[in-house]
Amino acid sequence: MSKQPQIAYIGLGLMGLPMAKHLINNGYEVHGFDINPQQRAAAEKSGVVIHANLQSTAKSGQIILLNLPTFDAVKDVVFGENGIVNVIQAPQCIIDFSTNPVSEGCELIKLFRKETSCTWIDAPVSGGPVASASGNLTVMLGAMPDEYSSNEKLLKTIAGQLTLMGPPGSGLVAKALNQLIVGCLHAVIAEAVSIAKKSGIDADLVPTALSGGHADGVLLQQIFPRMMANDFAPRGYARQLLKDLDMVASYATELKIPVPMTSQALTLYRILIEMGHSELDTSSILKVIQR
C-alpha cells in the first residue's frame, strides 16, 4: 500500500484548521503555518507540525494546500518577498481552496505554472467549517484531467461533492456563482424571517412548513433557525461575503452581464459592515433588515 503524500497547509483559520484536523484523522501527516500565532497554537494542539515561516512549510509537503481569506493574501504567500514560489519545485502541487477573483486568479495561476512548472489546482469550497471538519465540502475544481487524477484520493477525502469544472480557473467561476446565490439568498431569508416574526404565526415552524417545497434548501434549513435565534457566531464572516459579492459584481461587469439582485445584496452587506458587524456570521444581514 503506497504511503499517503505529506501535506503542507498554509492558512489554518476558520476553514483550514478543521480540514487539517480531518486530514490528520485520515492518516495524513500535516505540516502547517498561519500568520496568526493563536491559530498556530491551536493547530499544533490538533497534531499539525507547525513551521516558523512560509518557505519552510512549503518545502515540507508534496502537496501544498492554501486556505486564505483574501486574494492579496494568496498573492503574498505565493509571490511575496518570502513567497513559496522561491522554493517550490516540481512535482510539488498546490491546491488552493481560497475564493479568488476570476480574471486575476487565472492570471496568477498562469504566472505560477509558467515560473515553476508545478501544478496549481483551483479548488474553492462551499459548506462551512462543519463540512470542512467532516470531509463533506462541496468542491469546485479547475484542473487538467491528469492533475485531478493524481490528487483524486486527497480531494475525495475532503469533499462530499467534487466536480471537475474544466481547466485551471474554472473552479473560480463556479465559486463566483455559488457566492452570488448564497449572498442573495441570505438577504431573502432575512426578509422572510422578519415578516414571519411580525405576522403572528409560529415563525420557528417555517423551515418545517416549507420543507420539500420549491422554497426549501440547505440555506433555508440552516440559516432561518440561526436568524430566529439571533445566533450570529461566525461560520463564515460577513466581511468575507462582502468581499466575494464585490468580486462577483466585478466579474459580471467584465462580462457585461447585469446583476441587479447581486448589487442589492452587496449594498446590504456594505451597510452591515458599516454598522460594525464585519466579524459576525453572514446571517447577521438580518440586523440590516430589522434596523
The reported pLDDT for the residue numbered 256 is 98
Q: Rounded CA gap, 39 and 1, in Å?
A: 34
**Residues β-bridged to residue 144:** none
The reported pLDDT for the residue numbered 291 is: 86
1 pLDDT more than 80: no
Q: How far apart are CA 154 and CA 196, in angstroms?
A: 44
* pLDDT value for 166: 97
The confidence band for 216, taking pLDDT boundaries of 50, 70 and 90, is: very high
The per-residue pLDDT for range 142-158, each reduced to its tens digit, is 999 999 999 999 999 99
CATH fold, domain 174-290, is N-(1-d-carboxylethyl)-l-norvaline Dehydrogenase; domain 2 (1.10.1040)
Mean pLDDT of 16-42: 97
Dist CA 154 CA 167 (whole Å): 19
Mean pLDDT (the chain, rounded) = 96
- The answer to whether the pTM exceeds 0.85 is yes
Give the three-class secondary structure for 42: helix
Q: What is the CATH number of domain 7-166?
A: 3.40.50.720
Q: Which sequence spans correspond to the domains of the chain?
A: 7-166, 174-290
CA distances from 207 to 109, 147, 252 (A): 41, 41, 32
Task: Give yes or no for a contact between 123 and 171, defined as CB atoms under 8 angstroms apart.
Answer: yes
Q: What are 156-173's pLDDT values in tens digits?
A: 999 999 999 999 999 999
Q: Do 7-166 and 174-290 have matching folds?
A: no
pLDDT recorded at residue 100: 96
Average pLDDT over residues 265-273: 98
pLDDT at residue 167, rounded to an integer: 96
